[in-house]
Amino acid sequence: MKVKAIEFKRSRLTSKKEESITKKTIFLGILTVGLFVLMIVFGLPFLVKFSVFLGESKKNQNEELLVQTLPPLPPRLILPFEATNSARISIAGVAEPGVVVELLKNDVMLDSTQTSQQGEFNFTLVDLNEGDNFFSAVAITEKGGSSDLLKSLVVTFDNQLPELEITNPSEEKLTIDYDDFDIVGKTEGGASVLINGKVTIVDDEGNFKLKVQLEAGKNEFEVVVKDLAGNEVRRKIEITYDI
């Protein structure tokens, strides 16, 4: 009985294969006759154009499939400064046209917007926390594909006035009997110092010194210190050169 059952199954499989081969043969025959008729009616140039059309259609389908499978490029944030004394800023950037850009601050998603036809985007009224704020972004397509996460950029919010200590002279008004004088002081590292509009070199620890030539009588100096966030402090000193 088992042998007969196996033979019966083999017979059915053979019949199905033969039936499939027959259908394929009939289809190819009809396709061949159809192409032959088209060539007779429309001529060989039509077949050539038809073949080119099929090739272009397949090429376009492949290109569309490639676009759908490739993720978008990461967006680029444009930050005009590394530090600010404003608690609220705007962040612009560029990405691929038509994608949605999500903005993250300290790894938390803040907002999202769609890029323009030129690939531009802008986030306004972005609030900053005191100290360092780490911003990154990701681009997302309509098909759900997403880019790699943009490497974080840092913006420091600092609204504190920079320190300024003038050690020479130690008082606001001073009278001396020599014309060669060193104005010496200390501020925070990275700050800029101007003395009567002259740029003064500041070392990594915030120390600065400027040699000035005094004129006979009263000499007024203004020391202006500005940090990276734009906070500014001013101090005036008066040195009298008594000949």
- Please, which pLDDT band fits residue 176 given cuts at 50, 70 and 90? very high
Q: What is the set of domains in the chain, with CATH numbers? A: 2-69 (no CATH), 76-157 (2.60.40.10), 164-241 (2.60.40.10)
Q: Which of 89, 98, 95 is nearest to 75 (CA)?
A: 95
Q: What is the pLDDT of residues 80-111, one digit of tens each?
A: 889 999 999 999 999 999 999 999 999 999 99
Beta bridge partners, 102, equal: 112, 138
pLDDT cut 90: percent of the chain above it: 64
Question: What whole-number distance in Å separates Cα of residue 204 and Cα of residue 18?
Answer: 88
> Stretch 176-193: mean pLDDT, rounded?
95
Strands 83-84 and 153-157: parallel
Q: What pLDDT was estimated at residue 71?
A: 87
In 115-178, which ranges are E strands?
120-127, 131-140, 153-157, 164-168, 173-176
Q: What is the pLDDT of residues 115-169, one digit of tens each?
A: 999 999 999 999 999 999 999 999 999 887 889 998 899 999 999 999 999 999 9
DSSP letters, 139-155, are EE-TTS-B-PPPPPEEE
Q: What pLDDT was estimated at residue 121?
A: 97
Please name the residue that has the structure tokens 């088992």: 2
Q: What pLDDT was estimated at residue 136?
A: 96
Q: What pLDDT was estimated at residue 6?
A: 36
pLDDT of 4 > 50? The answer is no
